[in-house]
Amino acid sequence: MTVMCGPLDGVPMEVLFRGLDASGRQRMLRAATRVDAARPTGQVPQWQWFPDHIKRPDIHIDGAIPEILLSEISLYDEGGDWLEATIDVEWTPAGRLNVCAAMGMACWCPEDHGTHYAPSLNVPAGGMTSLCEAFEVAAHHLVGWLRGSPNPAHWRARANLPQRPSFVPPAVQERSG
């Protein structure tokens, strides 16, 4: 599978979404630009796109969701805990386009789920006409979340998920003992 990566002005919207007209592409680009602007200061905006998924793949391998366009924004990554914001355009198993925006964070449940996505917003796109609308809605929510806390604990609390067990540095234990 081919994965392309680069800044927004390198994303070939007209190739990825052939049914989109010029104004639709402009709307997609404007919404993506707002996402780029909401990234943490100093972070280089990167987008990924998947030329093999322009046409919906026939087979979903391992239940993986075929994504067409994706951006992952890392907000926190320290000591095994992490938080990221994601937005993508993907295919549903029914062969429809869907735009998904989500906050992803490390799982600290007794059973390891790997990643929790909460909140997670799916905006179905019936066709190219509604694709740019769906992308605008998802981008709008993502920008709002990006303005929120960069602390994964905040988002786990909001979703009622178990928190990371508190870690006491050895030096502190020695002093208190």
What is the maximal distance between C-alpha atoms in the chain? 69
Determine, following the binding rule CB under 5 A, whether residue 107 of this chain makes contact with Zn ion. yes
Determine, following the binding rule CB under 5 A, whether residue 3 of this chain makes contact with Zn ion. no
Q: Which of 41, 160 has the CB closer to Zn ion?
A: 160
For 62: left if phi > 0, alpha if psi spans -120 to 50, otherwise beta; the answer is left
- Provide, rounded to whole angstroms, the least separation between the CB of residue 173 and Zn ion: 28
Determine, following the binding rule CB under 5 A, whether residue 109 of this chain makes contact with Zn ion. yes
Taking the C-alpha atoms of residue 73 and residue 101, their distance in angstroms, rounded to an integer, is: 11
Cβ distance 156 to 163 under 8 Å?
yes
- Provide, rounded to whole angstroms, the least separation between the CB of residue 109 and Zn ion: 3
List helix spans (H) across 117-177: 128-146, 152-158, 170-176
Determine, following the binding rule CB under 5 A, whether residue 153 of this chain makes contact with Zn ion. no
Q: Which of 58, 111 has the CB closer to Zn ion?
A: 111
Among 1-9, 88-96, 99-107, 145-153, the segment contacting Zn ion (CB under 5 A):
99-107
Residues in region 26-85 near Zn ion by CB under 5 A: none
**# of chain residues touching Zn ion (CB under 5 A):** 3
Sheet strands side by side (includes 81-91):
4-6, 47-49, 67-78, 81-91, 97-106, 115-125
Other beta carbons within 10 Å of 170: 7
Q: Which helix (H) or strand (E) holds 46?
A: none
Determine, following the binding rule CB under 5 A, whether residue 113 of this chain makes contact with Zn ion. yes
- Provide, rounded to whole angstroms, the least separation between the CB of residue 82 and Zn ion: 13
Q: Which of 116, 141 has the CB closer to Zn ion?
A: 116
Residue 20: closest CA among 78, 82, 68:
68
Determine, following the binding rule CB under 5 A, whether residue 158 of this chain makes contact with Zn ion. no
- Provide, rounded to whole angstroms, the least separation between the CB of residue 64 and Zn ion: 20
Q: Which of 78, 111 has the CB closer to Zn ion?
A: 111
Tell me which residues touch Zn ion (CB under 5 A). 107, 109, 113
